[in-house]
Amino acid sequence: MEQSETELMLKGYGLTTAEFFYHMPDYIHVLNTFVWQDYDLAPDHPKLFKFVEFWQREIEGPLHSVRFTHRKMISPGEWRNVVGEFRLN
Domain positions in the chain are: 5-74
The confidence band for 52, taking pLDDT boundaries of 50, 70 and 90, is: very high
Tell me which of 75 and 82 has the higher pLDDT: 82
pLDDT at 77: 59
User: What does the pLDDT average to over 36-52?
Assistant: 93
User: What does the pLDDT average to over 4-21?
Assistant: 89
- Which DSSP category does 4 fall into? P
Mean pLDDT of the chain: 86
- Which DSSP category does 75 fall into? S
Phi, psi (degrees; rounded to nearest 5) at 65: -165, 165
Query: Alpha-carbon distance 58 to 52, whole Å?
Result: 10
